[in-house]
């Protein structure tokens, strides 16, 4: 048997401090908490479930683990910056003052930021 094509995708994030992560995803990013038990907090990311589980000795990876496509990356980046979310600046990328980068030869725009545990998150605007 294979996974049914109608099966919903779920994604996972790990945290050391669920209360802090929950506040970030709910209050800063604005996602609705749909379920919580002793093992995880689950958010609705526009129809995709995000399960945030606690691992006390978790070490974040340096690469992007979750991202969103947005229509206006500058507007979203400014909104997050106004909520004191700093954007990652990578040496040599030539990002603008908001931390937005465009790959050479492309109209695409990308910006990276981190959740409270250091998980790298991204915004992407495709042109």
Q: How many structural domains compose the chain?
A: 2
Tell whether 17 and 42 lie within a shared domain.
yes
Mean pLDDT, residues 12-32 taken together: 97
- Taking the model in full, what pTM does it have? 0.94
Mean pLDDT, residues 33-43 taken together: 97
Structure confidence at residue 1 (pLDDT)? 86
pLDDT at 124 over 90: yes
pLDDT in tens, 39-89: 999 999 999 999 999 999 999 999 999 999 999 999 999 999 999 999 999
Tell whether 65 and 122 lie within a shared domain.
yes
**CA geometry: angle at 26 spanning 97 and 28, to 5°?**
20
Tell whether 76 and 33 lie within a shared domain.
no
Output the CA–CA distances (angstroms, integers) from residue 10 to 14, 35, 44, 93, 103, in the order listed. 14, 13, 10, 31, 29
Q: How confident is the model at residue 127 (pLDDT cuts 50, 70, 90)?
A: confident
**SS3 (DSSP) at 81:** helix
- By CB atoms closer than 10 A (0-12, 13-18, 19+), residue 63 is exposed
CATH number, domain of 20, equals 3.10.180.10
Structure confidence at residue 119 (pLDDT)? 98
Beta bridge partners of 15: 54
Strand duo 109-114 + 64-69: pairing: unpaired
Note down the domain range covering 20: 1-57
Domain final residue pick, 37, 57, 77: 57
Domain final residue pick, 42, 57, 72: 57
Which residues have C-beta within 8 Å of that of residue 85, sequence separation ≥ 6? 28, 113
Domain final residue pick, 57, 78, 99: 57
Tell whether 87 and 69 lie within a shared domain.
yes
pLDDT in tens, 103-114: 999 999 999 999
């Amino acid at each position: 048997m294979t996974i049914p094509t109608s099966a919903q995708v779920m994604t996972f994030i790990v945290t050391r401090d669920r209360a802090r992560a929950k506040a970030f995803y709910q209050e800063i990013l604005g996602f609705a908490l749909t379920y919580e038990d002793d093992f995880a907090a689950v958010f609705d990311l526009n129809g995709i479930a995000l399960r945030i589980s606690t691992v006390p000795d978790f070490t974040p990876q340096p690469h992007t683990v979750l991202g969103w496509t947005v229509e206006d990356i500058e507007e979203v980046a400014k909104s997050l910056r106004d909520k004191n979310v700093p954007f990652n600046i990578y040496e040599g990328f030539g990002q603008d003052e908001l931390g937005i980068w465009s790959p050479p030869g492309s109209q695409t725009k990308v910006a990276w930021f981190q959740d409270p545990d250091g998980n790298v998150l991204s915004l992407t605007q495709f042109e």
